[in-house]
Amino acid sequence: MSQRFPSNPFEDVQPSEFNKYTKKHASEHFLDENFRKIGWEVFEPFTDTGIDRIIRKKICPNNHTKYDDVTNNIKKCECGEPLKTITRFLQIKTRKLDTKKNAKNLELLKYRYLGYTLESADFRTDPRHVFVFYSDNTTKTQQDVHIIPIADYLQFFIDNDIPNANGNSPANTQFAVRSFREGQGKDNFLFYKPDNTWVYNPQGRSKKDASGNIVGKISNEIPFNDWLNEKGLEKISNHVIENDMITLQDTITTQKLQLFYRFTKGRSNTITHENVQTIRTHFQENQLVENYSETLQQQREATIVTLQQLLEDEPELKESIKKYLIQFKEMRNKLEI
């Protein structure tokens, strides 16, 4: 029988013993060792580009390779095909499970959450991008990891985009401008339950039972176990993404257009219902369109022309602006201003 994934590779210390200053490195090493054990090569980018690890593994192009097959020294699959390497870019969020303050109901039920924040820049239009939510203290000795390809993550929010009585859906909560741009709107909706399963956005209130004791009740919650541990590994350990790269990129673009450009007024008392409608309509009508990159290039070229005219007698400023615009590669030959 294969070993549980993930499991602690370090004999002398439990992952939950690391404090918040050492947790990030300890957790990333924990995951590195777990991936290496089943045949992945693990690389750490030199600079922080929003990707924490790049992992590569040799897989049968006909997907005969199992997620825990160690393929480092194998050249050909039993079906005769040479193995081909796949690459995944991991964005890792490590958190300690915590009890939610101001949520008596969930506390009574012993639900604990894994809080994480994702910003718009974290949603890359690359199907090989994978979110990794790692819990180092699911129990004292058990760690859990959700391994979620970006297209799956976005689709989860589209599938569950059903607003509740307050007009909030998980997609609104995660992607609407209020929390999405402010940065401090932490996403504290992913919960671990005492029955060893995970759910997203549990809703309910505590109530008195027949004996008069206050007990927790759940009226609604969304199961979130499809990407847990071995299941998540299976989803990234095949050639599905490589075989369908262009289609999947288009899918991610469509998903992003569907989920972004939202607005909720949050707890504000000053924004009226009409304001909300106006802002929403504005967002919907001003979405990025498919020829965005051409439009952007035209806009930058127009900016250069304007600057050339305005800065006729300012050579130093002109030089300085050249340095600023050099980062846009399509501009490099047009910087003779």
Contact, 23 vs 17, CB < 8 A? no
**132 lies in the binding site for Zn ion (CB under 5 A):** no
Nearest alpha carbon to residue 207 among 110, 112, 108: 108
Q: How near is the Cβ of 60 to Zn ion at its closest, in Å?
A: 3
Reduced to 3 states, what is the DSSP secondary structure of residue 153? helix
State how far the Cα of 192 lies from the Cα of 190, in Å rounded to an integer.
7
Closer residue to Zn ion, CB minimum distance, 81 or 319: 81
Give the tokens for residue 140: 């004292």
Write out the binding residues for Zn ion, residues 147-176 only, by CB under 5 A. Answer: none
Contact, 221 vs 201, CB < 8 A? yes
**60 lies in the binding site for Zn ion (CB under 5 A):** yes
Closer residue to Zn ion, CB minimum distance, 79 or 210: 79
Q: Which of 14, 22, 62, 293 binds Zn ion (CB under 5 A)?
A: 62
State how far the Cα of 64 lies from the Cα of 58, in Å rounded to an integer.
11
Q: How near is the Cβ of 219 to Zn ion at its closest, in Å?
A: 47
* String marking each residue 7-46 x if it binds Zn ion according to CB under 5 A: ----------------------------------------
Closer residue to Zn ion, CB minimum distance, 171 or 236: 236
Closer residue to Zn ion, CB minimum distance, 65 or 105: 65
Closer residue to Zn ion, CB minimum distance, 29 or 64: 64
Binding segment for Zn ion (CB under 5 A), chosen from 39-47, 62-70, 111-119, 173-181, is 62-70
**64 lies in the binding site for Zn ion (CB under 5 A):** yes
**239 lies in the binding site for Zn ion (CB under 5 A):** no
Closer residue to Zn ion, CB minimum distance, 68 or 107: 68
* String marking each residue 67-86 x if it binds Zn ion according to CB under 5 A: ----------x-x-------
Closer residue to Zn ion, CB minimum distance, 1 or 79: 79
**99 lies in the binding site for Zn ion (CB under 5 A):** no
Binding segment for Zn ion (CB under 5 A), chosen from 35-43, 60-68, 130-138, 175-183, is 60-68
State how far the Cα of 68 lies from the Cα of 237, in Å rounded to an integer.
9
Contact, 79 vs 63, CB < 8 A? no
Closer residue to Zn ion, CB minimum distance, 59 or 148: 59
Helix 245-259, helix 150-159: angle, nearest 10: 40
Write out the binding residues for Zn ion, residues 242-301 only, by CB under 5 A. Answer: none
- The contacts of residue 251 (CB under 8 Å, 6+ apart) are 127, 151
- Would you say the C-alpha torsion 128, 129, 133, 136 has a positive or negative sign? positive
- The contacts of residue 271 (CB under 8 Å, 6+ apart) are 265
Q: How many residues bind Zn ion (CB under 5 A)?
A: 5
Residue 304: CB atoms within 10 A of its CB come to: 17
Length in residues, the chain: 337
Q: How near is the Cβ of 55 to Zn ion at its closest, in Å?
A: 21
State how far the Cα of 322 lies from the Cα of 93, in Å rounded to an integer.
38
**Interface residue list for Zn ion (CB under 5 A):** 60, 62, 64, 77, 79
